[in-house]
A and B are shown apart, each in its own frame.
Chain A
């Protein structure tokens, strides 16, 4: 229901209002960082990936969790490939 898209924080544009520039594959937009700010200092957000929804960064994307999900997907794919090759070799006379 809610379109959200990952973008990278590339600039802090207004510290007081907690605004920053986010890059979404080459398209830039100023977004509100209030929901992802940890404390007053916004600079740790630089370079981080956030999910942008209607001009607001709603959460930071956790790279480790993302990697874990991808790893899981990869394992499933490998298990399937193995299974298929086993079936193939088993079918051979």
Chain B
């Protein structure tokens, strides 16, 4: 091999090792085929946009040192959730932000410190590459804000029509600090129920963003990582139970907690934080804010003595300014959540049977 040949081979080898770039403008089946195109997609988009020090590309799994994990606490928390939403982008967020914050919050409500996330992507053939890039960028931003690393992932492409644009699965690992005991069965009579702000924002934002109802409003999703606020809470006060408020809304969470702990619960209707626009939307469509989804709200149950300090911590936090004491537990009518209407009457607060649908009557 003469010198020229060698230089040529070196150039070729260098080129082969260069990070791949996606040249197509949309996702094609080859991007999931396991060959060069898939490599390019992973290099360019997944590593390029999500990459951080933790992301392992050369191996099929992320590896952690047990010793490093144990420094945070004495139990692992592990969770998974899959995100499907139409439209992909909506005021205040997108599917990527939901996928990170949702899993972060699922870990955080156990009292855990969320550390690592995985990212599984199901892409529909024809999805614009730019759309995917935007979503992944948003995931990276959300992960950075929450202080978690995306360390492993997977990509599949399905033929057009076999999926709706883009589905994301994220699993997460966190560590629960020693001594933190938060359980759904932990509620006792006279415990107090707090929530960190406006109810129903996410559900309302999506209803409007879908466009079917031809409504206009400024309502944005409340998607947010709550691990920071929760970490401060569990350090300072005795937290009996925590649950993030997602699909099914506040009503579902309270009913689940009341049933798990076999306590009754009385909600003060006048104390429920509801944004003016969300109140208007729900009146118009015959819905109830307590049935609409949130993506950045947590229900926190504390003993009565800890209400004041807990509210102080929550309100001082960016994602808890509108925190409120909304309900009290009681021994009476176990498993049943009732609402004090403020009118002197009391009624049962049920879970919604299906999806919230607009009513005429």
Q: Which residues of A contact B (CB under 8 A)?
A: 1-3, 5, 7, 24-30, 52-54
Residues of chain A lying within 8 A (CB to CB) of residue B277: 25-27
**What's the least CB distance linking B73 to chain A, in Å?**
44
Which residue from chain B places its CB closest to the CB of A2 in the assembled complex?
B361
Residues of chain A lying within 8 A (CB to CB) of residue B219: 27
Given A3-B359, A3-B361, A54-B360, also A25-B215 (CB < 8 A):
no
Whether B217 pairs with A26 at a CB distance below 8 angstroms is yes
The total of Cβ contacts below 8 Å across the A-B interface reads: 46
Whether A29 pairs with B214 at a CB distance below 8 angstroms is yes
Contact of A28 (CB < 8 Å), options: B216, B276, B361: B216
Instruction: Tell me, in angstroms, the Cα distance from A25 to B219 when the chains sit together.
Output: 12
Residues of chain A lying within 8 A (CB to CB) of residue B308: none
Residues of chain A lying within 8 A (CB to CB) of residue B280: 5, 24-27
Instruction: Tell me, in angstroms, the Cα distance from A1 to B361 when the chains sit together.
Output: 5
Number of residues from B at the complex interface, CB < 8 A:
19
Contact of A30 (CB < 8 Å), options: B214, B218, B360: B214
Interface segment out of the listed B98-106, B111-119, B281-289: B281-289
Instruction: Tell me, in angstroms, the Cα distance from A26 to B275 when the chains sit together.
Output: 10
Which residue from chain B places its CB closest to the CB of A30 in the assembled complex?
B214
Given A3-B360, A5-B283, also A25-B216 (CB < 8 A):
no
Whether B360 pairs with A29 at a CB distance below 8 angstroms is no
Q: Does B22 contact A (CB under 8 A)?
A: no
* Residue-wise interface mask of B (55-68) relative to A, using a CB-CB cutoff of 8 A (1 in contact, 0 not): 00000000000000
Which residue from chain A places its CB closest to the CB of B361 in the assembled complex?
A1
Q: Does B259 contact A (CB under 8 A)?
A: no
Closest A-B pairs by Cβ, 3 of them: A25-B280, A26-B277, A28-B216
Instruction: Tell me, in angstroms, the Cα distance from A26 to B215 when the chains sit together.
Output: 10
Instruction: Tell me, in angstroms, the Cα distance from A24 to B283 when the chains sit together.
Output: 9
Considering only residues 204-239 of chain B, those with a C-beta below 8 Å from chain A are: 208, 213-219
Whether B286 pairs with A26 at a CB distance below 8 angstroms is no
Given A2-B360, A25-B277, also A52-B218 (CB < 8 A):
no
Residues of chain A lying within 8 A (CB to CB) of residue B360: 2-3, 53-54
Interface SS, A side: strand
Q: Does B88 contact A (CB under 8 A)?
A: no
**A-B pairs with beta carbons under 8 Å apart, 28 shown:** A2-B361, A3-B360, A5-B280, A5-B283, A7-B284, A24-B280, A24-B283, A25-B279, A25-B280, A25-B283, A26-B217, A26-B218, A26-B277, A27-B208, A27-B215, A27-B217, A27-B219, A27-B277, A27-B281, A28-B216, A28-B217, A29-B213, A29-B214, A29-B215, A29-B284, A30-B214, A53-B360, A54-B360
Instruction: Tell me, in angstroms, the Cα distance from A92 to B172 when the chains sit together.
Output: 69
Instruction: Tell me, in angstroms, the Cα distance from A30 to B219 when the chains sit together.
Output: 18
Residues of chain A lying within 8 A (CB to CB) of residue B284: 5, 7, 24, 27, 29, 52
**What's the least CB distance linking A26 to chain B, in Å?**
4
List 5 other contacts, CB 8 Å, given A25-B283, A27-B219. Answer: A26-B277, A26-B280, A27-B208, A27-B215, A28-B217
* Residue-wise interface mask of B (279-304) relative to A, using a CB-CB cutoff of 8 A (1 in contact, 0 not): 11101101000000000000000000
Instruction: Tell me, in angstroms, the Cα distance from A53 to B279 when the chains sit together.
Output: 17
Residues of chain B lying within 8 A (CB to CB) of residue A30: 214
Which residue from chain B places its CB closest to the CB of A55 in the assembled complex?
B214
Instruction: Tell me, in angstroms, the Cα distance from A5 to B285 when the chains sit together.
Output: 9
**What's the least CB distance linking B361 to chain A, in Å?**
5
Residues of chain B lying within 8 A (CB to CB) of residue A54: 360
Residues of chain A lying within 8 A (CB to CB) of residue B283: 5, 24-25
Instruction: Tell me, in angstroms, the Cα distance from A53 to B283 when the chains sit together.
Output: 11
Residues of chain A lying within 8 A (CB to CB) of residue B218: 26
**What's the least CB distance linking B48 to chain A, in Å?**
40
Instruction: Tell me, in angstroms, the Cα distance from A54 to B359 when the chains sit together.
Output: 9
Residues of chain A lying within 8 A (CB to CB) of residue B281: 24, 27
Residues of chain A lying within 8 A (CB to CB) of residue B361: 1-3
Highest count of chain B CB atoms <10 Å: which of A7, A24, A30: A24
